[in-house]
Amino acid sequence: MDTNESVEEAIGLLQQLGLKEYEARCFVGLSRLRSGTAKTLSEMTEVPRTRVYDAVRVLESQGLVEVQHSSPQEFRAVSLEEATETLRDQYEARVERLENALDTIDIVDEGDDTPIQQVWSLSGQNGIENRTDQLIEEATDEVVLVIGDESLLTDDLADSLNEVVSNGVTLIIGALTEPLEDQIQTKVPDATTFITGLEWLHSENATEDETAIGRLLLIDRSTILVSSITSGSKEEQAIFGEGFGNGLVVIARRLMAQGLVPAHDPGQ
Amino acid sequence: MDTNESVEEAIGLLQQLGLKEYEARCFVGLSRLRSGTAKTLSEMTEVPRTRVYDAVRVLESQGLVEVQHSSPQEFRAVSLEEATETLRDQYEARVERLENALDTIDIVDEGDDTPIQQVWSLSGQNGIENRTDQLIEEATDEVVLVIGDESLLTDDLADSLNEVVSNGVTLIIGALTEPLEDQIQTKVPDATTFITGLEWLHSENATEDETAIGRLLLIDRSTILVSSITSGSKEEQAIFGEGFGNGLVVIARRLMAQGLVPAHDPGQ
DNA sequence: CCTTTTTGTGATTAATCGGGTGACTTCTCG
DNA sequence: CGAGAAGTCACCCGATTAATCACAAAAAGG
């Protein structure tokens, strides 16, 4: 809606995608013009005129802008589809090369691992999401999952759940609210669902930096992941433990036995 | 094969993907260790010990490593699959947001366009590739394509070609060598192929900064794209013109009539 | 043809960021 | 309790990047 806001956002995103500020400004500037000269661009983007040339040159070498070598020379941005496709290609190529490089390396050295009680923490919505999916896919016996916020019920997650349930794994999913439970039953029809009775899971009054429950995942009764979301920063943080004897896991099992999952049977 | 080399490459790639040097070093360091402390990591990666903590914290917040809050605390990298998946997600999210932002903007202002003869230049393998594909898909009548190097015959390109040929567009593809022609007939069976007789298209003796032909694309006899590859830098550069009256296009048509495409009939 | 303005290049300065180091507090363990 | 390791901070300095300026080349326009 608000163009100015979107412009700023686009500039920021382009910088996150690796462009410098001037390059980003020039690109969105050109995106709003069918075509423009250095002067036009400079006026519209606040980029010093003499620096427009450098910026555009970089953009051209990345396939985001085309240049007409006349005098004065004119610039124009490639179409939105071409631009995003180019960016995607670029990134995909890098990630693939990274995969290969790390693959040929992975030859680990000294095993610096202590096979005792371990509790790891990780944060970032994305990373936690991926870890969740992976853990679910590795389950052989039982998956217990409690979801605290509907935004966490992604399609990828549903895919993982449906895949594992089709392999004969028992799937028990809890929700904090009834509407959420309905959503779950729609996306993962084969799961046994329930509404958790643990009040402390609910995000109280949404005060400042109140901490709400994110997910709670128990795999084969021996691996657990619990995450929370601070309502202010919306950053998700998780702790994660594995091993049947792991303290965290033991607590989780006890918790479960007590009433998190009401008697293990569906409905009510 | 050579681990050391791969390590360096991985570090470079991670930096291109947005990590700082220390972060990149720490991540590949942890990738070779099942788990490690700040000291271990510092020794292995040449990152000052006191800075390992910052770096790892950032990595954790991005979902690339997990931390055990013991003393001394231990770090470990997530699996290769999780890491690449996380990176992909992150990027995809950014590109999508960019798409939206630019979409709400695109409301162009003053049309600063000159509808006269225009020849644009663009560079970068990726961008040129995308432009090529897009132009092909827009063809309504005829596509003439000459490919100068087999590396340019990508799957995406073949897809575009096959798609457009199924819409009844005449497709004529030239190659510089016979093996290349064979490849083309395999990937795009419905195309009429030939071997170009234009000697200057061939990359002479591969001297220093010799310039070899990349692609030559003529769409509906009114839009043309010609690219070259400097053998040294392997950078691809292209010029691009549209409009039936465009000078560049006129030359291309004449060139074609002369013998680029031998009499327009298949084989020999 | 000469003047004036615009265009493009290059060098130069200023500010920011990231790599690198060391001081200092806290913790662990003998 | 004391030595050494772990962890946190604050700082320095070099490189990158934003920003300005000086100047040559080229158009525009009398």
Query: Residues for chain A: how many in total?
Result: 268
B77 and B32 both lie in a single domain:
yes
The verdict on a CB contact (< 8 Å) between A79 and B17 is no
Give the residue-averaged pLDDT of A133-147.
91
A185 and A65 both lie in a single domain:
no
* B36 in Cβ contact with B29 (< 8 Å): yes
Continuous segment of H or E residues that includes residue A36? strand A36-37
pLDDT at B10 over 90: yes
Q: Is residue B94 domain-resident?
A: no
b/e string for B98-107 if b means 16 or more Cβ within 10 A? bbebbebbee
User: What is the C-alpha separation between B55 and B141, in angstroms, rounded?
Assistant: 56
Q: Is residue A74 domain-resident?
A: yes
**In this complex, which of B60, B86, B121 lies closest to A69 when CB atoms are compared?**
B121
Tens of pLDDT, residues B115-166: 556 778 888 888 899 999 999 999 999 998 888 888 899 999 999 999 999 9
Which of A233 and B69 is assigned the larger pLDDT? Answer: B69
CATH number assigned to the domain comprising residue A57 = 1.10.10.10
Which nucleotide has the shortest C1'-to-CA distance from B72? D6
pLDDT of residue B221: 83
Q: Is residue B22 domain-resident?
A: yes
Alpha carbon of A230: minimum distance to chain B alpha carbons (Å)? 14
Helices B3-16, A80-105: axis angle to 10 degrees equals 150
From chain B, pick out residues whose CB is under 8 angstroms from the CB of A119: 68-69
Compare all CA atoms of chain A with the CA of B128 and give the residue at the minimum distance.
A63
Beta pairing class for B170-175 and B142-147: parallel
User: What is the C-alpha separation between A196 and B58, in angstroms, rounded?
Assistant: 34
Both tokens of B91, joined, read 């990027």
User: What is the C-alpha separation between B4 and B129, in angstroms, rounded?
Assistant: 33
pLDDT at A69 over 90: no
**CB-based contacts of A183, cutoff 8 Å, min separation 6:** A150, A153, A175
Give the residue-averaged pLDDT of A99-104.
93
Tens of pLDDT, residues B34-76: 888 999 999 999 999 999 999 999 999 999 999 988 878 899 9
Q: Is residue B107 domain-resident?
A: no
pLDDT at A118 over 80: no
pLDDT of residue A48: 96
Q: Which ranges in B62-105 belong to alpha helices (H)?
A: 80-105
Give the rounded percent of residues in chain A with a pLDDT score beyond 90.
Answer: 48
* B48 in Cβ contact with B25 (< 8 Å): no
HEC readout, A29-78: HHHHCCCEEHHHHHHHHCCCHHHHHHHHHHHHHCCCEEEECCCCCEEEEC
Tens of pLDDT, residues A42-63: 999 999 999 999 999 999 999 9
A64 and A125 both lie in a single domain:
no
B136 and B202 both lie in a single domain:
yes
Mean pLDDT of chain B: 83
User: What is the C-alpha separation between A64 and A24, in angstroms, rounded?
Assistant: 11
Phi-psi region of B6 (alpha: psi -120 to 50; beta: other; left: phi over 0): alpha
Strand D nucleotides in reach of protein CB atoms, 7 A cut-off: 5-10, 17-22, 26-27
pLDDT of residue A140: 92
pLDDT of residue B265: 42
pLDDT at A120 over 90: no
Q: Is residue B97 domain-resident?
A: no
Comparing C-alpha atoms, which of A68, A229, A247 is closest to residue A151? A229
B44 and B124 both lie in a single domain:
no
User: What is the C-alpha separation between A104 and A180, in angstroms, rounded?
Assistant: 44
CATH number assigned to the domain comprising residue A183 = 3.30.870.10
The verdict on a CB contact (< 8 Å) between A121 and B66 is yes
From chain A, pick out residues whose CB is under 8 angstroms from the CB of B89: 126, 129-130
Which of A213 and B61 is assigned the larger pLDDT? Answer: B61
pLDDT at A209 over 70: no
User: What is the C-alpha separation between A69 and A49, in angstroms, rounded?
Assistant: 17
Nucleic strand C contacts from chain A, 23-52, CB < 7 Å: 37-39, 49-50
User: What is the C-alpha separation between B32 and B221, in angstroms, rounded?
Assistant: 56
A172 and A252 both lie in a single domain:
yes
B71 and B170 both lie in a single domain:
no
A63 and A168 both lie in a single domain:
no
pLDDT of residue B207: 44
pLDDT of residue A21: 96
Chains A and B form CB pairs within 8 A to the count of 245
The verdict on a CB contact (< 8 Å) between B105 and A32 is yes
State the burial class of residue A249 (Cβ atoms within 10 Å of its Cβ: 0-12, 13-18, 19+).
buried
Domain boundary among B82, B106, B132: B82
Alpha carbon of A225: minimum distance to chain B alpha carbons (Å)? 12
Name the least confident of A67-76, A139-148, A208-217, B90-99: A208-217
B17 half-sphere exposure, CB direction, 13 A CA radius = 32
B77 and B124 both lie in a single domain:
no
* A117 in Cβ contact with A247 (< 8 Å): yes
Q: Is residue B37 domain-resident?
A: yes
A221 and A138 both lie in a single domain:
yes
pLDDT of residue B230: 73
Name the one residue in this structure whose structure tokens are 């550069």: B237
Q: How confident is the model at residue A206 (pLDDT cuts 50, 70, 90)?
A: very low
pLDDT of residue B114: 52
Q: Is residue B47 domain-resident?
A: yes
A19 and A124 both lie in a single domain:
no
pLDDT of residue A178: 86
B141 and B228 both lie in a single domain:
yes
Number of domains chain A is built from: 2
Compare all CA atoms of chain A with the CA of B24 and give the residue at the minimum distance.
A98
**In this complex, which of A74, A102, A120 lies closest to B10 when CB atoms are compared?**
A102
Picking from A13, A33, A106, A156 by the largest number of B CB atoms within 10 A of its own CB, the best residue to mutate is: A13
pLDDT at A90 over 60: yes
Q: Is the CB of A4 under 7 A from strand C?
A: no
Q: Which residue is nearest to nucleotide D26 (CA to C1')?
A: A71
A63 three-class SS: coil
Compute, in degrees rounded to 10, the torsion defined by CA atoms B83, B86, B88, B90: -140
* A118 in Cβ contact with A242 (< 8 Å): yes
Which of A91 and B264 is assigned the larger pLDDT? Answer: A91
Note down the domain range covering B155.
Answer: 119-260
Question: What is the phi/psi pair of residue B228, to 5°?
Answer: -135, 160
Domain boundary among A82, A109, A141: A82
Which nucleotide has the shortest C1'-to-CA distance from B19? C18
Q: How confident is the model at residue A92 (pLDDT cuts 50, 70, 90)?
A: very high
Give the residue-averaged pLDDT of A241-268.
58
Q: Is residue B35 domain-resident?
A: yes
Q: Is the CB of B204 under 7 A from strand C?
A: no
Mean pLDDT of chain A: 83
pLDDT at A128 over 50: yes
Q: How confident is the model at residue A208 (pLDDT cuts 50, 70, 90)?
A: very low
The verdict on a CB contact (< 8 Å) between A126 and B66 is no
Domain boundary among B82, B108, B142: B82
pLDDT at A132 over 60: yes
The verdict on a CB contact (< 8 Å) between B102 and A10 is yes
Comparing C-alpha atoms, which of A64, A79, A87 is closest to residue B135? A79
DSSP strands (E only) in A86-136: 119-123
Helices A21-32, A38-45: axis angle to 10 degrees equals 110
Tens of pLDDT, residues A153-205: 999 999 999 999 999 999 989 887 888 899 999 999 999 888 876 544 444 44
From chain A, pick out residues whose CB is under 8 angstroms from the CB of B4: none
Alpha carbon of B57: minimum distance to chain A alpha carbons (Å)? 10
pLDDT of residue B247: 62
Which of B117 and B180 is assigned the larger pLDDT? Answer: B180
The verdict on a CB contact (< 8 Å) between B61 and A123 is yes
Give the residue-averaged pLDDT of B228-235.
72
**In this complex, which of A66, A85, A128 lies closest to B122 when CB atoms are compared?**
A66
pLDDT of residue B268: 36
* A176 in Cβ contact with A193 (< 8 Å): no
The verdict on a CB contact (< 8 Å) between A34 and B88 is no
